[in-house]
Structure 1
Amino acid sequence: MKANNLSSCVVTDKVDESREFYMKNFNAKITFDCGWYINMEIGKNTSTLQFMAPQQPGQPTCDGIGLMYNFEVDDVDLEYERLTQLGNEPVMPLEDHPWGDRGFAILDPNGIMLYIYSNTEPSEDFKQYFK
């Protein structure tokens, strides 16, 4: 299979909170919004996220546990400053990692971890793993 696009849709009772969070913190552009389902574009490569309210009684919703989105940015230090000034509390500190990035993480309203990072030179121990 050759996919033309890949995006994720989070089933949540927090569609409104998600819309506001991503618009405020990531300059998300809403491209579809019928109230219970939203589609938004984030970044220059038009990465997309969708959030949808449950449509069936008892439909499971996302609890965020174990789910992480990675956001590659040009200047992670600048994004750390900006996002913490907006009131986001890091759940992972801003630090350098030997596998070749500098990053930190915050949580969205659904408990999804958002890892924001910039690429750096990997240590010699990790260079062997890159293909």
Structure 2
Amino acid sequence: MKLNAGIITEKLQETKQFYTEVLDFGVRFENEFYLLLHTPDHSAEISFLQPYHPSQKPIFQSAFSGKGVYLTIEVPHVDEVYQQLKDKGVPIEIEIRDEPWGDRHFAIKDPNGIGIDVVTYTKPED
């Protein structure tokens, strides 16, 4: 089984620019109303759909409201990614930090208001 999360948004071009230029995602497929992106290592995908497109049924019509969704991107070296994004001028929502349960992470936000937690898992504190 494979999971592909999808977000319905009016901001297809801003979203494509953010994920490809900031996070180095690739484009697997796109047309005028749909965008399918993949992580740099091709291990995961996320899709974005234009709202109220006539090809879509009512369940896939309403746009995301900007709250209640987050993504986690696990990376081998979170400090390197943090510095790369800071160097690109990406606003950091949560500064890099260690958590007692074993995360070293920071957070950014995409053009749709989706929080993105960038994390390297470490051993939890005793």
**TM-score, with length taken from structure 2:** 0.89
Q: Secondary structure at the match of 1:83?
A: helix
CA RMSD of the aligned region, Å? 1.4
| Residue segments in structure 1 that go unaligned for 5+ positions in a row | 125-131
Partner of 2:19: 22
Q: Partner of 2:90 in structure 1?
A: 88
Contact 2:9 2:50 in 1 (8 A): yes
Q: Deviations over 1:70-105 (max 9, x none)?
A: 011011111011111112111111100011110000
Runs of 4+, deviation exceeding 4 Å:
none
Q: How far has the Cα of 1:45 moved from its partner?
A: 5.0
Query: Is the contact between residue 96 and residue 104 of structure 2 (CA under 8 Å) also seen in structure 1?
Result: yes
Partner of 2:45: 48
- Matched-pair contact (CA < 8 Å) for 1:64–1:113: no
In the other structure, the counterpart of 1:8 is 5
Q: Does 1:35 align with 2:32?
A: yes
Identity %: 31
TM-score, normalised via structure 1 length: 0.86
2:107 alignment partner, one of 105, 108, 122: 105
Structure 2: stretches of 5+ with no match in the other structure: none
Counterpart residue identity of residue 36, structure 2 = N
SS at match of 1:105: strand
